[in-house]
Structure 1
Amino acid sequence: MKKVELLAPAGNLEKLKMAVVYGADAVYLAGTKFGLRASAGNFTYEDLQEGVKFAHDRGKKVYITMNIFPHNEDIKGMPEFIKRVSSIGVDAIILSDPGVFSLVKETAPHMKIHLSTQANNTNWLSAKFWYENGIKRIVLARELSLKEIKEIRDKLPEDLELEIFIHGAMCISYSGRCLLSNYMAYRDSNRGLCAHPCRWKYYLMEEKRPGEYYPVMEDERGTFIFNSKDLCMIEHIPDIINSGVTSLKIEGRMKSSFYVATVVKAYREAIDAYYRDKDNYVFDKKWLEEVSKASHREYTTGFYKNKTTSEDQIYHTSSYIREYEFLGVVKDFDEETGIATIEQRNRMHVGDEIEVVNPVGDYFVQKIESMRNIDNEEITVAPHPQMTVYMPLKQKALKYAMLRKKSE
């Protein structure tokens, strides 16, 4: 059995590096145009060149998204963009529109093409059609069960790859094809500008009683009627792998570097543990604890085990659960002195109990005993974003290790 790919989001260059270092086999990202996350940091050509080199030097792949549903004006500049990303060496383009598909085939005939989940592929016959027209990978719709996925796999040529989402936010609309944002906020989600109205609070108003708002449910807090729980399949790694898919995808190009690294590391460990000893694999609860330390909503298994019900929605809030704070990233560690050079991300104080998370292996816990700033002055608090801090650590910290603490 060929080992399944772990595919991570990369909203910017730093997130790409964190994803790769913490165990992703591949990353997906967007340029400054043509992707469905226009509000993510995204990549200039210069950043993309650096990111592709960083990934390829470590044996990892980079896929670029062009999965908007383009209007006529969006076609302008596409051929030049395709040529440039092809020359940089991206490993595949992810798209959903037949016109963009034909443009990529014409402009970069050797480029591998992946069909986005936006194309709503829910059956083997549709997948076979795309395969026969040159698609190398299908990102299946989120609305499929594991049983359906296995049947699709069994009916397709072995060299057609299948990709599924395993973790992250779920969309209220069918495979993300949503018009609600465009209608309510004049922001087209199908062109990368979703305002996320599915996360808003809604009330009921009777036409002859303007200004009188009634909760849709008998709840004084109102209701978030479209607000889905987050997908989390870390407890079901054997079932996912045995469905025959090629790639396991984590959602989250808008999420933080801390989120990307934390979630990728947990899934990396779970996947590797399964392949080491399939017959005796046992789920380790620490993996679920780890993904829960990144910001998240309550978790669901989506459609994979059964059809979704009211239990897969969150009606009382659209807020994230944030139990841990991301404090900083280790840029260097002097093994002789035990001093780490840290780029601060959130305020930290002398006396804070922190967890130091290396890209590989277990985290360790200690208190911050002292800190110095870039001028070698002793400080009791690191208050400035991305300031350089020197701090003694009790154990070795690798480059890109993260510091975190439990929220107060």
Structure 2
Amino acid sequence: MKKIELLAPAGDLEKLKIAIDYGADAVYFGGEMFSLRAGAGNLTIDEIKEGVYYAHAKGKKAYLTVNIYAHNEDIKPFEEYLNKIKDINIDAFLVSDPGILLLIKEAIPDAEFHLSTQANMTNFKAAEFWHQQGIKRIVLARELTFEEIKELHSKMPEGMEIEAFVQGAMCISYSGRCLLSNFMIERDANRGQCAHPCRWKYSLVEEQRPDEYFPVEEDERGTYILNSRDLCMIDHIPELINSGIVSAKIEGRMKSVFYVATIVSAYRKAIDAYYADPENYVFKEEWLNELKKVSHRQFTTGFYFNKPTNKDQDYQTSAYTREYTFTGLVKDYNPETGIALVEQRNKMSIGEEIEIFGPNDDFFTQTLQIMMDENGEPVESAPHPQQLLQIKVNQPVASGFMLRKKK
């Protein structure tokens, strides 16, 4: 049985490598231009070369996202950009604009194309149309149920693949095609600059009383009428696989390296456990608990089982739940001394309890007892961003392991 692909976001080169190391089968990333995540770090052309090489060396795939809806002024710069990247062995291009698709075809005749969710692909006739344009894989709009996905899979052209989001933020607009941000502050969501006004607080104003603002109160903190919970499908791996989806996609190119590692690792374990014994597969609550250790909103299954109701919205706050803090990234480890070289990411102090986890490993807990600076001088706390520390760990670790602590 061919395994479903676990597809992870890579907002920059570090996240790309971490996603691969923590179990992703493929990564998707944007360049410095023409991607719908202008706020992400994104990759320079040299970083794209390095990232693609890194993925291929590990037997993984790398997809470039170029899913803007281009305006006339974008065409010439995009042609110039294609000339710079056309010799990089990118596995597929995620596109939504037919003009962008045409330009890539002209510059890279043998390119593979995946249709971005921005194209709002919701039916098998649309799949047939896009197949005729050379699209191999469709990234479904988030507004489809399992029943619709199964029918689409049974009727779409042979050889065409389905990719679908399984984890991450939900857009209140139709699969991301939102004009609210552009209307309010002239930041175009369809060109990568969404300000997420759907998660702002709102009040009601009556036409004849323009200076009187009536709060539409849910509680004392305000009202969030367009504030969706985060999608989470880790406890529905069998349904995802049996629906015909070939690629399970994690949202979050603007998320932290800690987020990417944690989410990818949890889904990797759940997916592998299913394929190891499909008949006796049992979901483990610990996988879901891991997801809750990164910054998140409350969870929902989105449209997969039914159309969302008021229970899939969060009316109390648009803030994230942050129960754990990412405190350090292991850069090196000496097995003879048990000392790990750690790059600090948030403050940690002697006496605090920390959790340490890595690729393919469960976390372990220890009290922080021995911590030194780069020169071997003992320190009580590590308040300086990205300072290098020597930390005594109770179990073997390796480069890429992460430290976290509960708030």
User: Pairwise CA RMSD of aligned residues?
Assistant: 1.0
**Which residue of structure 2 lines up, in the alignment, with residue 216 of structure 1?**
216
Change (3 A) 1:331 1:131: same
Unaligned runs of 5+ in 1: none
SS in 2 for 1:390: strand
1:377 is displaced (CA, Å) by 1.1
1:48 is displaced (CA, Å) by 1.2
**Which residue of structure 1 lines up, in the alignment, with residue 8 of structure 2?**
8
CA distance in 2 between counterparts of 1:93 and 1:174 reads: 22
Change (3 A) 1:228 1:218: closer
CA distance in 2 between counterparts of 1:288 and 1:86 reads: 40
Unaligned runs of 5+ in 2: none
SS in 2 for 1:18: helix
SS in 2 for 1:88: coil
Moved over 6 A (4+): none
CA distance in 2 between counterparts of 1:218 and 1:359 reads: 42
Amino acid at match of 1:34: F
1:106-121 to structure 2, matched below 5 A, reads 106-121=106-121
Of stretches 208-217 and 247-256 in structure 1, the one that deviates more from structure 2 is: 208-217
**Which residue of structure 1 lines up, in the alignment, with residue 307 of structure 2?**
307
CA distance in 2 between counterparts of 1:13 and 1:327 reads: 20
CA distance in 1 between counterparts of 2:262 and 2:103 reads: 37
CA distance in 2 between counterparts of 1:154 and 1:49 reads: 37
**Which residue of structure 2 lines up, in the alignment, with residue 203 of structure 1?**
203
Contact kept? 2:204, 2:216, Cα under 8 Å: yes
1:1-400 to structure 2, matched below 5 A, reads 1-217=1-217, 219-400=219-400
1:141-162 Cα distance to aligned partner (Å, 9 max, x none): 1000011101111112341111
Change (3 A) 1:27 1:214: same
1:133 is displaced (CA, Å) by 1.9
1:138-188 Cα distance to aligned partner (Å, 9 max, x none): 001100001110111111234111100000000000010000000001100
CA distance in 2 between counterparts of 1:57 and 1:114 reads: 22
CA distance in 2 between counterparts of 1:95 and 1:314 reads: 31
CA distance in 1 between counterparts of 2:65 and 2:203 reads: 36
What is the TM-score normalised by the length of structure 1? Answer: 0.98
Of stretches 142-151 and 50-59 in structure 1, the one that deviates more from structure 2 is: 50-59
1:367-397 Cα distance to aligned partner (Å, 9 max, x none): 1111111122110111111100001101001
SS in 2 for 1:282: coil
Amino acid at match of 1:275: Y
1:257 is displaced (CA, Å) by 0.4
CA distance in 1 between counterparts of 2:363 and 2:84 reads: 41
1:46 is displaced (CA, Å) by 1.4
SS in 2 for 1:149: helix
1:203-248 Cα distance to aligned partner (Å, 9 max, x none): 0122333332212245443211111000000010000000011100
CA distance in 2 between counterparts of 1:278 and 1:131 reads: 32
Contact kept? 1:138, 1:162, Cα under 8 Å: yes
1:55 is displaced (CA, Å) by 1.0
CA distance in 2 between counterparts of 1:398 and 1:153 reads: 42
CA distance in 1 between counterparts of 2:288 and 2:158 reads: 32
1:137 is displaced (CA, Å) by 0.6
CA distance in 1 between counterparts of 2:135 and 2:183 reads: 33
SS in 2 for 1:167: strand
Contact kept? 1:202, 1:224, Cα under 8 Å: yes
Amino acid at match of 1:164: A
What is the TM-score normalised by the length of structure 2? Answer: 0.98
Identity of aligned residues (%): 60
Contact kept? 1:266, 1:291, Cα under 8 Å: yes
Q: Give the number of aligned pairs.
A: 407
CA distance in 1 between counterparts of 2:281 and 2:155 reads: 28
Amino acid at match of 2:77: G
